[in-house]
């Protein structure tokens, strides 16, 4: 009996040892297939609207290339609504399709459908997506804060001073509100140049950079009859500027301040769940119970082959925004801010130089106080 137990234990040990040497080789993840990925948003805001089409690559693909190389080109992309309006989008570059400046308009209370016909013969279609009324952004405000970052390699915690950005909103009563927030930062700088020599009149040169907060928070709240306001929604952390951290072209520039543009998108429950799952994917820590990427479902289906997966979303949402100019003293965290007028959405990184006799040509969106 004792010999049998020893023999059984030896077999178990042998099996365990062997199992560690077997390479997992699942042919289902090596299929030479691509998956359509859709990024599309239609709002009640300014046209045009954009749809970007690309291909997601098979699992474990060794891939280093540009976005244009995975772009889906030559597709027919159509947006229509339940009021009988329809528009075929114009193809741009790198899989980007767009409506015209006076094309189909997002209108609160209407439903919209996206249809995509690829040159390979597949037809993809979204469900009817309802455009909710936007949640008005009442204010943007700030609190001095310290952000701690852990270096995974050295396990050293670093502290960075800056501000937490918050917003207050007004919502319709007796409804569940779902909202997606995006926050854009326009950093305003200037310097003086002497194009005709040090003793000649100086020229003011304006420079600015545009970026977005890393955080893209979402909101799910049930609004009651008693209170239709949403208070202190966190947008994210914004670090205090250190001019020495800027690219070399900006080393000599002085900081004026920053315009904070907060956009609130009133999305559907389906879109809220999509973005929630997407965030879980992006913040996964390589743990055993991390979410599976293929479970990130879309609201778009392949009509001719339902087995084909689609990644991405056709988002239809009411859009509202608020813009504020902020600066704080270099030596402390006393924050100065004021509301500003609407900021053009097409502002991108730039520099303005106007040599004599024209001085101080301020960009149209510029704010200072």
Q: In sequence order, what DSSP letters do the residues of 46-93 get, joined into one string? A: SSP-EEEEEEEPPTT------GGGSB--S-EEEEEETTS-EEEPEE-S
Q: What is the pLDDT of residue 22?
A: 46
In sequence order, which residues have a C-beta less than 8 Å from that of residue 277 and are 6 or more positions away? Answer: 291, 295, 296, 297
- What is the distance, to the nearest Å, from the Cα of residue 278 to the centroid of all Cα atoms in its chain? 11
DSSP letter assigned to residue 128: P
| 174 to 147, 190, 225, 316, 319: CA distances (angstroms) | 36, 49, 6, 21, 20
User: How, if at all, do strands 310-328 and 35-43 pair?
Assistant: parallel
- What is the distance, to the nearest Å, from the Cα of residue 88 to the centroid of all Cα atoms in its chain? 25
d(CA 102, CA 89) in angstroms, rounded, equals: 12
Beta-bridge mates of residue 316 = 42
Count of helices and strands (H, E) across the chain: 2, 20
User: How, if at all, do strands 175-193 and 203-212 pair?
Assistant: antiparallel
Q: What is the pLDDT of residue 282?
A: 64
For the chain, report the end-to-end CA distance as a whole number of angstroms.
Answer: 91
d(CA 352, CA 333) in angstroms, rounded, equals: 30
Q: What are phi and psi of 243, to 5 degrees?
A: -60, -30
Whole-prediction pTM value?
0.81
| Both tokens assigned to 280 | 């879980």
Specify the domain boundaries for CATH 2.60.40 within the chain: 32-131
pLDDT averaged over 10-residue windows placed end to end, the chain, 369 residues: 51 46 48 81 94 80 63 96 97 94 95 97 96 92 87 79 90 78 91 77 84 87 68 90 50 80 94 86 56 67 93 95 84 79 85 64 80
Q: What is the pLDDT of residue 99?
A: 97
DSSP letter assigned to residue 276: H
CATH 3.40.50 fits 32-131, yes or no: no
- Residue 272: in which H helix or E strand, if any? helix 269-282
| Both tokens assigned to 232 | 């202190």
């Amino acid at each position: 009996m004792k010999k049998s137990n020893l023999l059984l234990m030896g077999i178990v040990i042998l099996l365990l040892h062997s199992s560690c040497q077997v390479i997992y080789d699942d042919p289902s993840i090596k299929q030479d297939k691509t998956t359509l990925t859709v990024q599309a948003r239609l709002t009640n805001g300014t046209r045009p609207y954009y749809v970007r089409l690309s291909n997601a690559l098979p699992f474990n693909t060794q891939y280093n290339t540009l976005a244009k190389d995975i772009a889906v080109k030559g597709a027919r992309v159509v947006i229509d609504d339940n009021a009988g309006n329809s528009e075929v989008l114009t193809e741009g570059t790198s899989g980007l399709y767009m409506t015209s400046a006076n094309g189909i308009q997002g209108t609160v209370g209407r439903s919209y459908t996206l249809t995509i016909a690829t040159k390979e013969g597949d037809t993809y279609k979204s469900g009817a997506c309802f455009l909710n009324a936007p949640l008005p952004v009442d204010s943007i405000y700030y609190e001095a804060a310290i952000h701690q970052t852990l270096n995974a390699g050295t396990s050293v915690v670093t502290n960075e001073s800056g501000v937490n950005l918050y917003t207050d909103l007004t919502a319709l009563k007796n409804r569940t509100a779902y909202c997606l927030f995006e926050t854009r930062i326009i950093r305003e700088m200037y310097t003086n140049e002497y194009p005709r020599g040090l003793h000649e009149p100086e020229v003011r040169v304006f420079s600015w950079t545009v970026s977005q907060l890393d955080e893209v928070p979402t909101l799910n709240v049930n609004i009651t009859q008693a209170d239709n306001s949403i208070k202190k929604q966190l947008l994210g952390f914004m670090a205090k500027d250190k001019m020495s951290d800027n690219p070399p072209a900006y080393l000599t520039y002085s900081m004026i301040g920053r315009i904070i543009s907060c956009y609130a998108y009133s999305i559907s429950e389906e879109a809220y769940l999509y973005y929630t799952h997407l965030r879980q994917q992006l913040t996964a820590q390589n743990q055993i119970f991390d979410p599976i990427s293929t479970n990130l479902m879309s609201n778009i289906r392949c009509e001719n082959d339902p087995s084909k997966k689609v990644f991405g979303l056709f988002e239809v949402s009411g859009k509202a925004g608020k813009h504020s100019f902020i600066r704080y003293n270099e030596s402390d965290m006393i924050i100065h801010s004021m509301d500003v007028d609407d900021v053009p959405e097409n502002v991108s990184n730039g520099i303005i130089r106007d040599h004599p006799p024209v001085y101080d040509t301020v960009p149209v969106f510029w704010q200072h106080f």
